């Protein structure tokens, strides 16, 4: 009987050793794989950029960079505008919708003026475009944050999970 228990204990120790050894090797390979994968991605993008580096591709990339921030903010305003339809307070809903429309109009205006400026002046520095200005970025972030706080204070408090289970 003792011989059987000793055999079972030895087998379970071997199983634990193999299991934890495999785990340590997998963790080591994972940490080794992350820098390798990142390096391969950088090399791939570098090689791809050298392969397609041409004037039309550069112009397309620059236009994409110019239109990225206004597009992100305008889409955020549109999404929140649609969600505001279900807001319980009508006054806050109307104020929010007005601010969202102002934000959408500002984003579209900045996008159009920056694209016109791109084709007229073709600035190589991002400081020449309004979409990267501190006023545009901070104003949009502050506006979204302000509206979110106003809407959060005027909605009903959610039921806590402990109170819900009672």
Question: What tens digit of pLDDT does each residue of 79-123 get?
Answer: 888 888 877 888 888 998 999 999 999 999 999 999 999 999 887
What pLDDT does 121 receive?
87
Question: What total number of domains does the chain contain?
Answer: 2
CA distance 36 to 22: 21
Residue 43 domain flag: yes
- Expressed as residue numbers, the domain containing 63 is 54-156
Same domain as 44, residue 74: no
Q: Transcribe 25-45 into DSSP letters.
A: HHHHHHHHHHHHHHHHHHHHH
Report the percentage of the chain scoring pLDDT > 70: 86
Q: Residue 37: pLDDT above 70? A: yes
Same domain as 25, residue 71: no
Residue 166 domain flag: no
Most confident of 5-19, 53-67, 73-87, 152-166: 73-87
What pLDDT does 10 receive?
52
Same domain as 91, residue 46: no
Residue 146 domain flag: yes
- For the question of whether the overall pTM of this predicted structure is more than 0.85, the answer is no
Same domain as 49, residue 1: yes
Same domain as 123, residue 48: no
Same domain as 72, residue 12: no
């Amino acid at each position: 009987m003792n011989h059987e228990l000793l055999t079972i204990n030895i087998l379970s120790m071997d199983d634990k050793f193999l299991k934890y050894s495999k785990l340590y090797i997998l963790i080591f390979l994972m940490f080794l794989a992350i820098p390798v994968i990142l390096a391969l991605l950088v090399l791939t993008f570098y090689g791809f950029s050298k392969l397609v580096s041409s004037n039309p591709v550069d112009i397309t990339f620059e236009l994409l960079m110019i239109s990225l921030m206004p597009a992100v903010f305008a889409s955020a305003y549109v999404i929140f505008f649609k969600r505001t339809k279900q807001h319980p307070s009508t006054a806050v809903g109307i104020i929010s919708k007005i601010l969202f429309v102002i934000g959408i109009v500002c984003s579209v205006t900045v996008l159009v003026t920056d694209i016109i400026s791109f084709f007229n002046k073709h600035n190589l520095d991002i400081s020449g475009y309004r979409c990267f200005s501190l006023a545009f970025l901070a104003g949009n972030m502050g506006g979204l944050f302000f509206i979110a706080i106003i809407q959060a204070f005027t909605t009903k408090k959610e039921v806590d999970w402990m109170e819900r289970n009672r």
